[in-house]
Chain A
Amino acid sequence: MPQSLSLLLAVLLFPGGLFALAVGLLLKGVDRRVAARLQRRVGPPLLQPVFDLVKLSRKRIFVPDSACRPIFLAAPVIGTAAMLLAAALVPIPGVYQPDPLLGDLFVLFYLLAVPAVVLMLAGSASGSPFGAIGFSREMMLMLAYEGPIVLVIAAVALRTGQAEGGIVTFSLSEIVRWQQAHGAFLFDPVMWPTLIAFAAFCPANLGIVPFDIADAETELLDGPLLEYAGPPLGLFRVMSALKAVVVLGLGICLFFPNAPAGVAGLLVWALKMLALMVVGVTALRVSAGRKRIDRAFTFFFRWPLACAAFGLVAVLVL
């Protein structure tokens, strides 16, 4: 198969694209169902996110008079495209290795910032005061959680690089391969501070409850998404489903990629995703309240940043 075609397939069909979208929507469905069960409700059907998407695709597009039309409509498209590419960048251990041509951990790090930037653009272009508040909150939150994740990525890259005799490795497939040969970072005490920092980064990047400050429904009426209706709103939902797959998949790659090859590897991967979603997202979401933006800001600059810095020093020294 020519390389351009295999790249296209990777972005649109198998690890990215349709596959990632299906996994992401199913994970969201499981999340809503489990959350309902934890509150002793029946909950929606597993395919509810799919129903929502179909419904949104059939509603009217609405652009407010006060909005900046090109940016307002382009924002969800850019965000979704970035996440499609990001999904093709994350390896599925034992099953899929991204082409080095697509990029490495650095590219992934930049792509992960795109949804937040796009939400800011959407909020500021919508011409609504709630969107503007959402914009400022999203920006503060992003400033707060970017620090720890840079250090997390640096720590993992250093650990693998040093072990392999070099200095750093920013290739995700290399990181996965090393862990598969020498044991996962999850069981390596030196990496635990880094793991804690990553665990704090996840909910903030995914925008779920303790850190859903930018689109706080009850105070900001969905903030940046307030003015969106129909298909563009659906695209934002696609983006967040893909982002869940990318962030959780990145967590698996960085800390626990051990899996057999072939179909069994895919199953193990799916099980890990499910476990991460239920423990890391759903349990957190139903048991916590929303943090205030200034509290979240100082929280990230205190604990996750300290943990990540300590983890980096530990990797350098030990």
Chain B
Amino acid sequence: MGALSKLLGRISSRSPWLYRINAGSCNGCDVELATTAFIPRYDVERLGCQYCASPRHADIVLITGPLTVRVKDKVLRLYQEIPDPKATVAVGICPISGGFFRGSYAVCGPLDNFIPVDVNVVGCPPRPQAIIEGIAKAIEIWRERL
């Protein structure tokens, strides 16, 4: 039984579906996520990834932006709606330190005060290769939880 469940877990880890949350980002990281990381040159589908439209389908969450006061509640609610097991990737410098928006009255980050972050991908915006590496690392972490 243990071996079977382990095997199924290994198979499952080849199907990580990605969900993007914009927590008040300037859109720079989102552009990198939406286009660069998914154009032919940096195909992430080969890892089995797929962007899903609904948080209910998601396995790996990509969060961009410094977590502004106005979106905080919505982001937390959205995060709770994603069924376990899941892994979180913070994309860009903003979720880590506030980045460009650090110290602003409208920002309540850093993100890991509210949500457990598994992988940080730094950069403003990060390069596509870095995002893909972050996703690959998140898959490793997610596999342990399956």
A interface with B by C-beta (< 8 Å):
32, 36, 39-45, 48, 50-52, 54-55, 57-60, 62, 217-218, 220-222, 225-230, 233
Contacts and interface: CB of A to CB of B under 8 A. Distances in A.
Contact of B12 (A44, A58, A62, A217): A58
A233 B57 contact: yes
A36 B43 contact: yes
Contacts of A226: 53-54, 56
B54 A225 contact: yes
7 contacts: A43-B43, A45-B14, A48-B15, A54-B15, A59-B84, A222-B57, A229-B57
Nearest to A50: B11
A195 B13 CA distance: 42
What is the predominant secondary structure among interface residues of chain A facing chain B? loop
Contacts of B146: 58
Interface size of B as a range: 20 to 34
A48 B9 contact: no
A222 B15 contact: no
Contacts of B8: 54, 57-58
A236 to B, nearest CB: 11
B46 A62 contact: no
A54 B59 CA distance: 13
A43 B53 contact: no
A41 B54 contact: no
Q: Which of B48, B84, B85 has the most CB of A within 10 A?
A: B48
A48 B40 contact: no
Contact of B56 (A55, A217, A227): A227
Contacts of A51: 11-12, 14-15, 48
A213 to B, nearest CB: 14
A230 B57 CA distance: 7
What 7 A-B pairs are tightest by C-beta distance, nearest first?
A221-B53, A55-B12, A229-B56, A41-B43, A55-B15, A51-B15, A42-B46
Given A42-B46, A52-B50, A225-B57, 8 more contacts: A43-B45, A48-B48, A51-B11, A51-B12, A54-B12, A55-B11, A217-B53, A230-B83
Q: Which of A41, A60, A226 has the most CB of B within 10 A?
A: A41
